C-alpha cells in the first residue's frame, strides 16, 4: 500500500482513500450519497450547512463529512440512526425559514433542497412562528434573486472569491439577520457570474432571462459546444418543444471544468431575434421577395458563375463550423475563387509564410493552470476567453508570474506581477525590449530580419524582469491575445514574441478570438493555405485586400461586414459596389439587407451538427439540438447543394460527419502543433512613430459575433453598454476634456459621438474604444490615429 493511501470503511464498505481527503470526497467517488448544500467539489470547504453530518466511530458527535479528513482505520456511517437523526435535525432547521413556494419557483424540480427534503424532511413542520423574509435585490439583468429562499450555504460568495476572483456577493448582518447580497444596490460585473445560478442549491439565485418560462421536467437536455470564444466550453442546451430555453455548463475537466462564461450561458437569447432569417430571399429590382430554396440557390449559382472567379471575394466567419468552412472553400476553390478568408479583423497579413498551421495555444488549456510564468501580449483574456483567464488565475494563485503588455490595465482577476501599459505603437517597442533582454540574457544575437527593431528598442528594467521571469519559469508561455491579431503590426508582434519565447525557453501560443478560429485555418479558409494546412502556390486576396480592391461579387458566410470586419465602413462600401452578393446567415440585419442580393437562411449552432476546433486543437463535434427555424437549413447542406448545382464533383456528403472525416483524411500523420515562427526572408521595418492620439481597444465581449450581439440580456449588462471613448484623467486634462461627458471622435475622416469615460488604466496617448459595437462601427479600424473634440 502506498504511503499516501489510507484504509477506511464507509457503511461497512472497505475503501482506500488519499491521505487528507475529506470523507465526502471519498464517499462521492465510491458512489455513496451524503446529502449536502454548502460543499462543492470546486470550492473551499465551509462546513456551514451541517447537512452532511455522519457518524464516525469513536467520535462523540456526528461529524460533517465535508470537513472531516479521512484517517487510517476510520469507520463512518452515513445512514446509521445517529447520522440520520443529525441529518433530519439539520433539515428541520434549514426548512424553518424556507418559504413553501416551490410551485412558483424556477428551481422546483431541480432543487437540491427539494430533493434532500424529500429524503430527510418531515411532512409537517413543527415550526409555527413567523418566517424570515428578505427583500430581493436587483443584481443585474442575468441573475434573478429571491433571497427569502436562501439557506446561507455561501457557495455564491465563495465562487466570487475563489473562482471569479472578484468578490461581489457577501454575507452581511449576523444570526437571524444574516443576508446574502451585495449590501449596496449594485449589479454583479463578473463575466462568469452566471455560474452562481448553478451553484445555488435552492431557488435564491436563478437565471433571469429564462425565469418563469419552463419547468425543469419539461426540458430536454442536449450536449453541445459553445460557439463564441476559442475555448469551446462544453454546454448543455435545454429545449422545450423544439425551442432553446436555456444553456448550462457540461462538465469537462480538460476544457471548462464545471464553469461557463456568461456569454456562453446567455447568448442563446439571441437565437430568436426579430431579424432572424427564416426563408430564402432574393432581391428583385431592389425589393426583397421571399422565395423557395431552389430559386434562391439557382440565383446564387447564376450570380457566382456569371462573375469571373478572380472577381469573387469570400468572407467566412470564424464562428462557422469546420464543416461549413471546409465545404465553403471547397465550393469556392472548385469555382476557381482564391480570395477566401476568415481573418475578418486582421489588417496585417505580412509574412504569411510564417503563419502556423493554426493559431495554437501552445499547450493544452488545462495546462494553463500549471504554468510558472506567462506573458500576455495585447490580450484582455479575462473578458475574451474567461475560462483561460480562470486557468491562469489558478496558476497565479500558486505563485506563477503573470505579466502583460497591453494598451489598458484591464483589471485582471489574477495577481499581475508586471504589466506594461502603453499605446499600440509602444507595445511593439516594449515587446522588442523584452526580446532584446531575452537575447542579452541568452548571449544570442538578434535574427537578421529583426535586428534593426530589436537593436533600436530600449531594454529597461521592466523588460529585463519580464524576460527573466519567463526564463526562470519551468513552464512559461508567451500568449498573443485576440487584440494582437487586429494590431496593425501583428506579424512583427508575432515575430518578436517568437524571439522572446525561443530565448527564454517559453512556449509561444495564441488566444484567437473565435470559436472556430483554429478550425478555419485547418479547413483552409485562408487565401494562402488549403485544407489541412496545404501551402498554395498562388495565394488569393486576404480579407483586407479583397475589400481594398473591391470585387464584383462577394460570398458572406455568417458575416455581418459592418460589425465583423476590421473596418466595417470600408467593408460596407466595397460590398455595396459589387454586382452580386450572397449572404448565408441566420440573421438579416438592416445593413445585410442593404448589401445582399440573395439571403440564404442558415441554421444557428443550436440547429446544425458540426465541429469547432478550439485553441488547443481539440476537435469537438456536436449535434443539432433542435430543428432550424422556419425554412433555415444547416449551412453545410446548403453548401453541398450549391456544389452540386454548380456542377462540381465531390459534394456527395450525407452528413456533417462525412464532411469532417473527409477533411480529417487530408491530414498527414503529423499535424504540427507547432507555433514556431520562421524568420527568414524579408526584414521587418521600423515604423514611423505616430504623432497624436492613438485608438486602441479590442472587440467588446458582447459584440463578438452576430448571435451574442442579439442577446439582449447580455447587452443590458455593463459590459454590453461599454461603448465609449476611454482616456486617462491626465489625458483628459491635457486635452481639456474634464468638463464634458460626450465627445466627437474623428478617425480617418469619419466621426462618431461617444460617451467620454475617464479610466486611469488607459495608456497615455491612447483612446480606448471598443470595436464591433453599432455605436463605434462608424469609425472603422480598431487601431489608428484619432482626435477627440469636446461636445
Chain contacts with other proteins (rule: CB under 8 A): 161, 166-174, 182-184, 724, 726, 729, 732, 737-741, 755-761
User: How far lies 764's CA from each of 101, 257, 488, in Å?
Assistant: 55, 38, 19
Between 466 and 745, whose beta carbon lies closer to other proteins? 745
Between 181 and 624, whose beta carbon lies closer to other proteins? 181
Least Å distance, CB 394 to other proteins, is 19
Between 177 and 217, whose beta carbon lies closer to other proteins? 177
Q: Which residues contact residue 641 at a Cβ distance below 8 angstroms, ignoring those fewer than 6 apart?
A: 293, 297, 651
Least Å distance, CB 722 to other proteins, is 10
Spatial CA neighbour of 714 closest among 196, 195, 262: 262
Between 166 and 350, whose beta carbon lies closer to other proteins? 166
Least Å distance, CB 421 to other proteins, is 13
Least Å distance, CB 368 to other proteins, is 25
Between 652 and 729, whose beta carbon lies closer to other proteins? 729
Least Å distance, CB 553 to other proteins, is 45
Q: Which residues contact residue 237 at a Cβ distance below 8 angstroms, ignoring those fewer than 6 apart?
A: 221, 222, 224, 244, 246, 247, 268, 606, 625, 626
Between 183 and 212, whose beta carbon lies closer to other proteins? 183
Between 156 and 237, whose beta carbon lies closer to other proteins? 156
User: In the Cβ-directed half-sphere of 791, how many Cα atoms lie within 13 Å?
Assistant: 15
3-state secondary structure 259-311: CCCHHHHHHHHHCCCCCECCCCEEEECCEEEECCHHHHHHHHHHHHHCCCHHH
Between 173 and 630, whose beta carbon lies closer to other proteins? 173
Cα 342 to chain centroid, rounded: 18
Least Å distance, CB 614 to other proteins, is 32
Q: Which residues contact residue 257 at a Cβ distance below 8 angstroms, ignoring those fewer than 6 apart?
A: 42, 251, 387, 390
Angle, to 10 degrees, between the axis of helix 322-334 and the axis of helix 635-645?
Answer: 20
Least Å distance, CB 196 to other proteins, is 14
Computed from CA positions of residues 320, 322, 325, 328, in that sequence, does the dihedral angle turn out positive or negative?
A: negative
Q: Which residues contact residue 635 at a Cβ distance below 8 angstroms, ignoring those fewer than 6 apart?
A: 320, 321, 324, 328, 557, 558, 584, 602, 603, 608
Helix, strand or coil, per DSSP, at residue 580: strand
Helix, strand or coil, per DSSP, at residue 214: coil
147: left (phi over 0), alpha (psi -120 to 50) or beta: alpha
- Given a contact cutoff of 8 angstroms between Cβ atoms, the answer to whether 17 and 70 are in contact is yes
Between 114 and 380, whose beta carbon lies closer to other proteins? 380
Least Å distance, CB 392 to other proteins, is 20
Between 195 and 321, whose beta carbon lies closer to other proteins? 195
Least Å distance, CB 735 to other proteins, is 11
- Specify the DSSP class assigned to residue 108: T
Least Å distance, CB 171 to other proteins, is 6
Cα angle for residues 748, 751, 755 (degrees, 5° grid): 125
Least Å distance, CB 698 to other proteins, is 17
Least Å distance, CB 178 to other proteins, is 8
Q: Which residue has the cell 473551499?
A: 44
Between 84 and 169, whose beta carbon lies closer to other proteins? 169
User: In the Cβ-directed half-sphere of 62, how many Cα atoms lie within 13 Å?
Assistant: 24
Whole-number Å distance between alpha carbons of 32 and 491: 56
Between 154 and 252, whose beta carbon lies closer to other proteins? 154
- Specify the DSSP class assigned to residue 602: B
User: In the Cβ-directed half-sphere of 128, how many Cα atoms lie within 13 Å?
Assistant: 1
Task: In the chain, count H helices and then E strands.
Answer: 26, 32
Least Å distance, CB 741 to other proteins, is 5
Between 756 and 777, whose beta carbon lies closer to other proteins? 756
Least Å distance, CB 746 to other proteins, is 18
Least Å distance, CB 191 to other proteins, is 17
User: How far lies 441's CA from each of 446, 502, 504, in Å?
Assistant: 12, 12, 8
Least Å distance, CB 258 to other proteins, is 23
- Given a contact cutoff of 8 angstroms between Cβ atoms, the answer to whether 158 and 170 are in contact is no
Least Å distance, CB 199 to other proteins, is 17
Q: Which residue has the cell 452581511?
A: 172
Strand order across the 5-10 sheet: 13-18, 5-10, 75-77, 53-56, 63-64
Between 468 and 755, whose beta carbon lies closer to other proteins? 755
Query: Three cell numbers at 690?
Result: 505616430
Least Å distance, CB 361 to other proteins, is 31
Contacts 24+ apart (CB under 8 A), 41-48: 41/258, 42/163, 42/257, 42/258, 42/259, 43/155, 43/158, 43/159, 43/162, 43/163, 43/199, 44/158, 44/162, 46/153, 46/154, 46/158, 48/152, 48/153, 48/154
Q: Which residues contact residue 66 at a Cβ distance below 8 angstroms, ignoring those fewer than 6 apart?
A: 22, 23, 24, 36, 38, 39, 45, 47, 52
Between 535 and 742, whose beta carbon lies closer to other proteins? 742
Q: Which residues contact residue 528 at a Cβ distance below 8 angstroms, ignoring those fewer than 6 apart?
A: 352, 355, 535, 536, 539, 540, 542
Spatial CA neighbour of 180 closest among 37, 386, 36: 37
Cross-strand bridge partners of residue 508: 478
Between 1 and 133, whose beta carbon lies closer to other proteins? 133
Neighbours of 526 (CB within 10 A): 27
Amino acid at each position: 500500500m502506498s504511503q499516501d493511501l489510507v484504509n477506511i470503511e464507509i457503511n461497512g464498505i472497505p475503501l482506500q482513500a488519499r491521505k487528507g481527503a475529506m470523507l465526502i470526497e471519498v464517499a462521492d467517488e465510491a458512489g455513496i450519497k451524503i446529502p449536502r448544500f454548502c460543499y462543492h467539489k470546486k470550492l473551499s470547504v465551509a462546513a456551514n450547512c451541517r447537512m452532511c453530518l455522519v457518524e464516525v466511530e469513536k467520535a462523540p458527535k456526528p461529524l460533517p463529512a465535508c470537513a472531516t479528513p479521512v484517517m487510517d482505520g476510520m469507520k463512518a456511517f452515513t445512514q446509521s440512526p445517529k447520522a440520520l437523526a443529525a441529518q433530519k435535525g439539520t433539515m428541520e432547521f434549514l426548512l424553518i425559514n424556507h418559504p413553501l413556494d416551490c410551485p412558483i419557483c424556477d428551481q422546483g424540480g431541480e432543487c437540491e433542497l427539494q430533493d434532500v427534503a424529500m429524503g430527510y424532511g418531515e411532512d409537517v413542520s413543527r415550526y409555527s412562528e413567523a418566517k424570515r423574509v428578505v427583500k430581493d435585490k436587483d443584481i443585474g439583468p442575468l441573475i434573478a434573486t429571491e433571497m427569502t429562499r436562501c439557506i446561507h450555504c455561501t457557495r455564491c460568495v465563495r465562487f466570487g472569491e475563489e473562482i471569479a476572483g472578484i468578490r461581489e456577493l457577501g454575507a452581511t448582518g449576523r444570526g437571524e439577520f444574516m443576508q446574502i447580497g451585495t449590501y449596496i444596490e449594485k449589479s454583479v460585473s463578473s463575466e462568469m457570474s452566471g455560474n452562481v445560478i448553478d451553484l445555488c442549491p435552492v431557488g435564491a439565485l436563478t437565471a433571469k432571462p429564462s425565469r418563469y418560462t419552463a419547468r425543469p421536467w419539461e426540458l430536454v437536455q442536449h450536449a453541445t459546444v459553445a460557439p463564441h470564444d476559442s475555448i469551446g466550453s462544453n454546454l448543455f442546451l435545454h429545449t422545450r418543444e423544439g425551442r432553446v430555453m436555456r444553456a448550462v455548463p457540461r462538465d469537462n475537466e480538460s476544457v471548462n471544468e464545471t464553469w461557463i462564461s456568461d456569454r456562453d450561458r446567455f447568448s442563446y437569447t439571441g437565437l430568436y431575434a426579430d431579424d432572424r432569417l427564416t426563408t430564402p430571399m432574393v432581391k428583385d429590382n431592389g425589393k426583397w421577395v421571399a422565395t423557395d430554396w431552389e430559386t434562391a440557390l439557382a440565383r446564387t449559382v447564376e450570380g457566382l458563375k456569371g462573375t469571373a472567379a478572380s472577381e469573387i471575394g469570400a468572407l467566412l466567419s470564424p464562428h462557422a463550423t469546420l464543416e461549413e468552412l471546409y465545404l465553403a472553400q471547397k465550393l469556392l476553390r472548385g469555382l476557381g475563387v482564391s480570395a477566401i478568408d476568415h481573418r475578418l479583423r486582421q489588417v496585417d497579413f505580412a509574412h504569411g509564410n510564417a503563419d502556423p498551421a493554426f493559431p495554437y495555444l501552445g499547450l493544452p488549456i488545462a495546462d494553463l493552470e500549471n504554468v510558472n510564468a506567462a506573458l500576455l501580449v495585447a490580450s484582455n483574456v479575462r473578458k475574451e476567453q474567461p475560462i483561460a483567464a480562470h486557468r491562469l488565475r489558478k496558476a497565479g494563485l500558486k505563485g506563477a508570474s503573470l505579466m502583460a503588455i497591453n494598451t489598458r490595465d484591464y483589471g485582471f482577476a489574477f495577481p499581475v506581477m508586471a504589466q506594461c501599459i502603453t499605446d499600440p505603437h509602444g507595445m511593439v517597442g516594449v515587446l522588442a525590449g523584452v526580446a532584446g533582454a531575452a537575447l542579452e540574457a541568452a548571449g544570442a544575437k538578434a535574427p537578421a530580419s529583426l535586428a534593426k527593431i530589436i537593436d533600436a528598442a530600449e531594454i529597461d528594467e521592466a523588460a529585463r524582469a519580464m524576460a527573466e521571469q519567463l526564463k526562470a519559469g519551468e513552464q512559461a508561455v508567451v500568449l498573443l491575445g485576440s487584440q494582437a491579431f487586429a494590431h496593425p503590426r501583428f506579424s512583427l508582434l508575432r515575430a518578436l514574441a517568437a524571439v522572446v519565447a525561443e530565448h527564454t525557453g517559453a512556449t509561444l501560443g495564441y488566444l484567437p478570438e473565435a470559436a472556430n478560429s483554429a478550425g478555419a485555418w485547418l479547413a483552409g479558409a485562408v487565401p494562402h493555405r488549403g485544407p489541412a494546412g496545404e501551402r498554395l502556390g498562388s495565394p488569393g486576396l486576404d480579407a483586407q485586400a479583397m475589400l481594398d480592391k473591391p470585387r464584383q461579387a462577394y460570398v458572406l458566410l455568417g458575416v455581418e461586414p459592418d460589425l465583423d470586419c476590421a473596418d466595417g465602413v470600408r467593408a460596407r462600401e466595397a460590398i455595396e459596389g459589387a454586382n452580386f452578393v450572397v449572404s448565408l446567415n441566420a440573421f438579416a440585419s438592416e445593413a445585410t439587407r442593404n448589401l445582399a442580393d440573395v439571403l440564404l437562411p442558415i441554421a444557428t449552432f443550436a440547429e446544425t451538427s458540426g465541429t469547432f476546433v478550439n485553441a488547443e486543437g481539440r476537435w469537438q463535434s456536436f449535434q443539432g439540438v433542435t430543428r432550424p427555424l422556419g425554412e433555415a437549413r444547416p449551412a453545410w447542406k446548403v453548401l453541398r447543394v450549391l456544389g452540386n448545382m454548380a456542377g462540381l464533383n465531390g459534394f456527395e456528403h450525407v452528413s456533417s460527419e462525412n464532411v469532417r472525416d473527409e477533411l480529417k483524411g487530408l491530414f498527414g500523420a503529423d499535424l504540427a502543433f507547432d507555433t514556431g515562427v520562421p524568420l527568414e526572408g524579408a526584414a521587418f521595418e521600423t515604423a514611423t512613430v505616430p504623432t497624436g492620439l492613438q485608438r486602441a481597444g479590442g472587440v467588446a465581449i458582447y459584440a463578438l459575433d452576430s448571435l451574442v450581439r442579439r442577446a439582449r440580456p447580455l447587452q443590458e449588462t455593463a459590459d454590453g453598454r461599454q461603448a465609449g471613448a476611454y482616456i486617462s484623467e491626465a489625458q483628459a486634462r491635457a486635452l481639456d476634456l474634464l468638463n464634458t461627458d460626450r465627445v466627437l471622435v474623428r478617425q480617418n475622416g469619419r466621426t462618431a459621438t461617444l460617451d467620454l469615460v475617464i479610466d486611469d488604466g488607459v495608456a497615455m496617448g491612447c483612446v480606448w474604444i471598443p470595436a464591433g459595437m453599432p455605436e463605434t462601427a462608424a469609425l472603422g479600424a480598431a487601431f489608428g490615429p484619432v482626435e477627440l473634440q469636446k461636445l
